[in-house]
């Protein structure tokens, strides 16, 4: 390897001179020139890859920032609150029009746990997890007594 590296500076000018005069290049000169010409497309490809990954991250950030799917139903579908029941299970309260539904969400399944006959009062701002937990606790206690 050290012999090849030591002879490399002499091959590049010899190959360039031979190409300019129409002579045949010495053996090994084409490989030396190929290594220098490979760097340009490689840098271009890596630059394009970085640009595409950057655009994907930018669009993901914008989707999270703008709310994405929560506004897709024209304001008729809203998530009012949620409570984690385990590592992968959640209970979510949603409002569809005037009706509120309590949903159980697990990997691969979404089930309606309860339709609320009397909707829970929710502040016009962002409902906190503590308010949701309190409302759910009241609802569950009311169901046990009846």
Please answer whether residues 91 and 137 qualify as being in contact, where contact means their C-beta atoms are separated by less than 8 angstroms: no
Positions in the chain short of pLDDT 70: 1-36, 67-75, 122-130, 143-146
Q: Is the same domain home to 8 and 59?
A: yes
Q: Is the same domain home to 13 and 36?
A: yes
Tally of CB atoms within 10 A around 116 = 14
Domain span at 24: 2-66
Q: Is the same domain home to 101 and 86?
A: yes
Q: Is the same domain home to 7 and 52?
A: yes
Q: How many domains does the chain have?
A: 2
Q: Is the same domain home to 135 and 80?
A: yes
* Closest listed residue to residue 113, CA positions, set 90, 138, 97, 132: 90
Q: Is the same domain home to 48 and 31?
A: yes
């Amino acid at each position: 390897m050290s012999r090849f590296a030591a002879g490399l500076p002499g091959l590049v000018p010899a190959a360039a001179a031979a190409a300019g005069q129409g002579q045949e290049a010495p053996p090994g000169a084409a490989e030396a020139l190929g290594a220098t010409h490979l760097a340009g497309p490689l840098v271009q490809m890596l630059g394009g890859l970085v640009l595409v990954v950057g655009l994907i991250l930018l669009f993901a950030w914008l989707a999270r920032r703008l709310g994405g799917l929560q506004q897709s139903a024209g304001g008729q579908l809203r998530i009012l609150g949620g409570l984690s029941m385990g590592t992968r299970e959640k209970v979510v309260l949603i409002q569809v029009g005037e009706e509120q539904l309590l949903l159980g969400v697990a990997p691969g399944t979404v089930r309606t746990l309860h339709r609320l006959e009397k909707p829970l009062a929710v502040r016009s701002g962002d409902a906190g997890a503590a308010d949701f937990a309190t409302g759910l606790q009241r609802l569950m206690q009311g169901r046990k007594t009846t």
